[in-house]
Amino acid sequence: MTVYGYARVSTAGQSLNEQKDTLKTAGADIIMSEKYSGTTTTRPQFEKLVHLVEPHDTLIVTKLDRFARNTREALNLIDSLLKEKIIIKVLNLGTIDNTPMGRMIVRTLLSVAEMERDMIIERTQAGKVFAKQHNPNYKEGRPKRKKDSHNTAIFEYSQTHTVRGTAEAFNISARTVQYIKKMFN
């Protein structure tokens, strides 16, 4: 019987370290992790994990919303894992068991999580509308990068180093290095 852990964060800028440490402390032997939004249907590490777990193995996540994009998907996944006799532990909730009460608790909590996510989206959209109406300088998206001294240093360093080496040296993503190189060329 193996204890698996699964950690996920939504953006590349977020760290998985806290979740991984928590999963190790909770007894996970093998931890799979990835950086994918909960709205993304493709989560390769999670799909690999679902195929690895066997009856009587344990799957640990830190929070219920790490499982899926929405309530329906999470319930289907949890039901299928429980039918396969996989033990599911959600660290901020407890062990999910295959009983009517256990399934009801999961449904309720997933519905609340989905409602919170929808409310965040609504508030964000309302904020954008308000900003567009009240701020003549409002521009959606990230501000454009400038050819400042920091970006110039990154570009110059990248001329004699690999993209990956430059990214590590400046603690930025390889994609950002490529963007800066393109900006100067």
The residues carrying an active-site annotation are 10
d(CA 94, CA 142): 39
The string of DSSP codes covering 42-65 is: --HHHHHHHHH--TT-EEEESSGG
Distance of CA 159 to the CA centre of its chain: 33
Q: How far is CA 84 from CA 31, 60, 73, in A?
A: 20, 15, 17
